[in-house]
């Protein structure tokens, strides 16, 4: 089971929050769209878990989903944090997510396995897959687990951190229903198809990458609409498939790399579809049940994930690996920045900074989520 110890305890306070925009700009927005209030992680954790149990989830599943949502809230990825609780509660209520799945894991080789998530919450399935991959890697040096009949697993980084906590490099990816065009495509084809990797760093926070293969999530389009701002170039298209900066006209996303190099983002999205979809037996992104269908017609998604764990001991060895990671991060963090003001960062550095801030200040929660959580 994941390590979910609450990290913060401070009293709620109203205030402001920050949103990360492209181009390294952080724009402080006082009470953007809603008034946020700050809560300690333990309070949110308890409320989220209680509501999941009330919605019919099993104890260990509620715990894993709570863990994953709080991971995202803890490090500042609010789009995938406790804000999503309403979504999961709705799906548990309609049967779009199976509250009592018979999850089965089958070991298929010395280093491989397949997990059937039986339409349940994706978070326990993804934690389980990563933990089985870790067990396989302890024996075989590398382990891989495919997951099918799963659902939306939130922030991919939550699962790979489990590997890093256990001294392993962890990789996970998930396909999803179509929201992102092909390079030059006229309609959505791939999901946002995230790829996450965590690499352990001795006596320090792990190196943590967690990226979608689109430039932005669709939530960002909605935010730009609310703010009346133009979108960055090459991140979204109108309904005919033409790239647009008009947030109101944006109909779907375009792959990472934009107008010039979106073939690379589309290839990465495809890599995820091949490994997490075609290889595992999950549905393929372009024909996957959409979230609306799922909610309205009780039709479950068959999302796929693919988890890999790698034991550094079986390559250059853990001692040499630890030294190399230390050297790499020291070189990186001491590398000069172009503007001389914003230091360069390793993947995860911004998130660990935010986690330290939130451990003191609490986690911001918007009004609608507070209503759902009964806070």
The continuous run of DSSP H or E covering 371 comes out as helix 367-373
Rounded to the nearest angstrom, the gap between the alpha carbon of residue 72 and the centroid of all alpha carbons in its chain is: 7
DSSP 83: G
Q: What is the biggest distance separating any 2 CA atoms in the chain, rounded to whole angstroms?
A: 54
Nearer to a copy of itself, 60 or 222 (CB): 222
Nearer to a copy of itself, 21 or 295 (CB): 21
Strands 112-116 and 142-150: parallel
**Nearest-approach distance from CB 66 to a copy of itself, in angstroms:** 27
Nearer to a copy of itself, 84 or 275 (CB): 275
**Nearest-approach distance from CB 42 to a copy of itself, in angstroms:** 31
Q: Phi, psi at residue 97, to the nearest 5°? A: -120, 135
Torsion of CA 256, 262, 265, 269, to 10 degrees: 110
**Nearest-approach distance from CB 315 to a copy of itself, in angstroms:** 4
Nearer to a copy of itself, 48 or 276 (CB): 276
**Nearest-approach distance from CB 182 to a copy of itself, in angstroms:** 4
**Nearest-approach distance from CB 91 to a copy of itself, in angstroms:** 25
The answer to whether 148 and 114 have CB atoms below 8 angstroms apart is: yes
**Nearest-approach distance from CB 279 to a copy of itself, in angstroms:** 5
Nearer to a copy of itself, 101 or 257 (CB): 257
Nearer to a copy of itself, 263 or 297 (CB): 263
Q: Which residues contact 301 (CB under 8 A, 6 or more apart)?
A: 96, 119, 150, 151, 152, 177, 283, 288, 289, 291, 294
Between CA 126 and CA 142 the distance in angstroms is 17
């Amino acid at each position: 089971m994941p390590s979910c110890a609450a990290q913060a305890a401070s009293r709620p306070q109203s205030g402001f929050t920050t949103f990360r925009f492209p181009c390294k700009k952080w724009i402080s927005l006082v009470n953007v769209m809603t008034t946020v209030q700050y809560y300690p992680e333990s309070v949110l954790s308890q409320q989220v878990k209680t509501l999941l149990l009330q919605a019919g989830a099993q104890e260990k599943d509620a715990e894993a989903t709570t863990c994953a949502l709080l991971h995202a809230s803890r490090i500042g990825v609010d789009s995938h944090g406790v804000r999503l609780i309403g979504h999961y509660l709705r799906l548990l209520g309609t049967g779009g997510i199976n509250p009592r799945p018979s999850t089965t894991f089958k070991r298929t080789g010395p280093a491989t396995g397949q997990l059937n998530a039986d339409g349940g919450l994706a978070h326990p399935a993804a934690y389980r897959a990563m933990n089985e991959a870790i067990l396989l890697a302890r024996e075989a040096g590398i382990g891989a687990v495919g997951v099918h009949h799963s659902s939306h697993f939130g922030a991919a980084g939550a699962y790979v951190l489990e590997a890093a906590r256990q001294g392993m490099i962890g990789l996970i990816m998930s396909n999803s229903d179509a929201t992102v065009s092909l390079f030059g495509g006229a309609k959505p084809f791939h999901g946002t198809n995230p790829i996450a990797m965590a690499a352990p760093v001795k006596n320090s926070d792990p190196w943590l990458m967690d990226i979608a293969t689109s430039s932005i999530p669709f939530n960002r389009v909605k935010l730009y609409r609310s703010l009346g701002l133009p979108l960055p170039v090459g991140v979204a298209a109108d309904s005919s498939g033409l790239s647009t900066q008009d947030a109101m006209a944006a109909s779907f996303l375009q792959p990472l790399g934009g107008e010039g190099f979106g073939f690379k983002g589309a290839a990465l999205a495809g890599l995820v579809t091949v490994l997490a979809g075609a290889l595992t037996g999950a549905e393929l992104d372009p024909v996957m049940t959409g979230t609306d269908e799922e909610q309205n017609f009780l039709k479950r998604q068959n999302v796929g994930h693919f988890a890999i764990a790698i034991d550094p001991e079986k390559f250059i060895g853990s001692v040499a690996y630890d030294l190399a990671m230390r050297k790499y991060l020291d070189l990186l963090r001491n590398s000069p920045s172009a503007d001389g003001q914003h230091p360069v960062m390793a993947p995860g550095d911004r998130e660990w900074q935010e986690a330290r801030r939130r451990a003191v200040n609490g986690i911001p929660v918007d009004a609608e989520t507070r209503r759902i959580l009964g806070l």
